[in-house]
Amino acid sequence: MKKRNFLALLPIGVFLVLYLGLGVVFEYVLKISMGFYKIPIVVVFLIALIVACILKPKMKLDDKLAVMSKGVGDKNIVTMLLIFMAAGVFVGVVGRSSAESVAYFVLSFIPARFAVLVLFVVSAFVSLAMGTSVGTITLIAPIAVAVSGSSGFSVPLCLGAVVGGAMFGDNLSFISDTTIAACNGQGCKMQDKFKANFWIALPAALATVAILAFQTIGADVGEAVVKEYNLIQIIPYVLVLLGGIVGINVFLVLIIGIVSGAIIMLVTGATPATELLANMGSGVSGMFETSMVAVLVAAICALINEYGGFEALLSLIKKVFKGKKGGTLGMGLLVGAMDIATANNTVAIVMANPIAKEMAQNYNIKPRKAASILDTFSCVFQGIIPYGAQMLVALTVATDLGHTVSAFDVIPHLIYPFMLLLSSLIFIFLIPEKK
């Protein structure tokens, strides 16, 4: 057993102080739009890694490099990186026009009084298929603003429905960064995590639908938004979604999605043959930062573990959170705290993974449940914080379309994240765990 050493946690502290501190200065002091996302997170993690290397000066640098290499070369880290790249290729191939097709298709035959419900459900499906909440909001938020203008529902209500639906898919999607990070970090199959996660997310989604229906169905509204759509382009998304649910290997699922997407995009003329490879490259490039963060965090955590930092943190957690249920809640709050500090749910999971794995062993929490809790709580906090990318993108879209909306106008309408938190607490404390 390693000796407890709280000083070994200093690299995490340095990262949080630099990233959170600079984020607050950029966003709220200098008033820079999306200030948190102007900070190069890879550079900040690199500084934290240098701090980790400086600690324990008696240990040779070669020995430290060996420890880092072992951490970065872990099977779960390598698998995670490969899945990130494959998912990037898939998103690059299929593009995003199909998401708009889904929205306009549903809006074309659903009465306008159900428009807000449609925005939530469509956002949930699109995010589930695409694996990205930010991408979903980028696509559906302009539609939400158009729906608000034509129907009479408020812009904050429509945006809240979109953000909530996007977080539903982000939490459950097989190709979401958060799912990939949580499953590989805890060593469980995506299908097993999905099953555990589904029974937390479904009640929250149903409760959200019920609340939105109560708020909107009786309203006096105008006409719905109708535009052209092409449903054949959603086939690759459906194939990926169904393949993941039935348990096909994630790499094979993504290859099926990539091949089918390429064929459909070429046949329909949505993407010229000369641009297809470039789009694949752009998709992979979009995963660069996330992949580098995973590598740097793996190296930092390997050193922290070697120095005894995790032993110190676990001893503190055990004093505060008692029993299996307390440990499960502690795991959720741990990743939530990381998310508040980083404003990035994938990074929060990657940072929390090594500690959470130790907690899972100490508290006898199954890997599928640990992965589910990490993903769920990270999405709860990411869906609510006013400086997260999801909220900032939604507000930017509204501003660009001529509407002045603040985060605090939208937060009261973020029904799904709050329902997901409630469902998670019920799941932890009241629902018996299956064997």
What does pLDDT average to over the chain?
Answer: 83
Q: What is the dihedral of CA 63, 69, 74, 78, to 10 degrees?
A: 180
Q: pLDDT tier at 380 (50, 70, 90 boundaries)?
A: very high
pLDDT the model gives residue 20:
79
Counting runs of H as helices and runs of E as strands, what totals does the chain give? Answer: 21, 0
- Higher pLDDT: 319 or 231? It is 319
Q: pLDDT tier at 98 (50, 70, 90 boundaries)?
A: low
Tell me the pLDDT tens digit for each residue of 260-287: 888 988 888 878 888 888 888 888 887 7
What DSSP assignment string belongs to 407-430? HHHHGGG-HHHHHHHHHHHHHHHT
Tell me the pLDDT tens digit for each residue of 4-38: 788 888 988 888 888 878 888 887 788 877 676 67
Tell me the pLDDT tens digit for each residue of 310-324: 778 778 887 888 889
| Highest averaged pLDDT of the listed ranges 134-138, 197-201, 301-305, 387-391 | 197-201
CB atoms within 10 A of CB 76: 17
| Highest averaged pLDDT of the listed ranges 97-101, 200-204, 301-305 | 200-204
**What pTM was computed for the model?**
0.74
Burial of 358 (0-12, 13-18, 19+ CB in 10 A): middle
pLDDT the model gives residue 345:
84
Which DSSP letter does residue 406 get? -
Distance between first and last Cα of the chain: 30
Given a cut of 70, whether residue 61 has pLDDT beyond it is yes
Question: Per DSSP, which regions of 290-429 are E strands?
Answer: none
Question: In this structure, what are the phi and psi dihedrals at residue 387, rounded to the nearest 5 degrees?
Answer: -110, 15
CB atoms within 10 A of CB 29: 9
Alpha-carbon distance 427 to 200, whole Å? 7
pLDDT the model gives residue 399:
79
List Cα–Cα distances, 6 to 3, 10, 180, 301, 335, in angstroms: 10, 8, 30, 13, 19
Tell me the pLDDT tens digit for each residue of 164-193: 999 998 899 887 888 888 998 898 888 889
Average pLDDT over residues 226-249: 74
In the chain, what percentage of residues exceed pLDDT 70? 91
